Amino acid sequence: MRLFIAIDLLNTVKDQVLNVCADLSGVRWVQPAQLHLTLRFIGETDQAVAIINALRSIRFDPFPLQLQGLGQFPAKGAPRVLWIGCQASEPLTHLAASIETTLTEIGLPKADQPFKPHLTLARPKYSLDRGELRRWLGQQFAIDAFTVTEFVLFSSQLDPKGAIYRREAVFLAERLGDRP
């Protein structure tokens, strides 16, 4: 299975995010159902059961999260990804670190990249007009903070029309319990 761990967004948050997904030509926007904040990409593995069991040990309280700011990867040059960032948040950073530690304790390799919280919005289909991109990136984007009450282990099946995500397990905040 190809797996990743993410914060899934409420539909009300996705609706607000979609407001910024316009006015830029030459990109392939992420489908609303696929909008999420990746906490840790795992990749291909046959250890789904061990991963689920390990993730059940993670405890966290609900915490606020605010999406704000637009950017690109890489930071300079032609973008491969356009994204919305997150306001700095100790609970979010702590949750991602707990997930990383838990996964390495069961033998998974460390993440390839340091955790940089963002929400992928689009991937360019071809070289973008620099002025148009600069105007888009210069927008002041922020939405009201929302409360994170869970994280999700997703499987991802690659398809010519785009990846298909499936919830494999949901892990609720401490005061809420958890459910497979």
Residues marked active site are found at 36, 118
Whole-number Cα distances in Å, 137 to 73, 82, 126: 12, 9, 17
Instruction: Tokens for 87, please give them.
Output: 């306001």
- The residue type of 38 is T
CB proximity list for 93: less than 8 A, separation 6 or greater: 115, 117
∠ CA 36-42-45, nearest 5°, is 130
How far apart are alpha carbons 37 and 9 in whole angstroms? 8
Q: Is 26 helix (H, G, I), strand (E, B) or coil?
A: coil
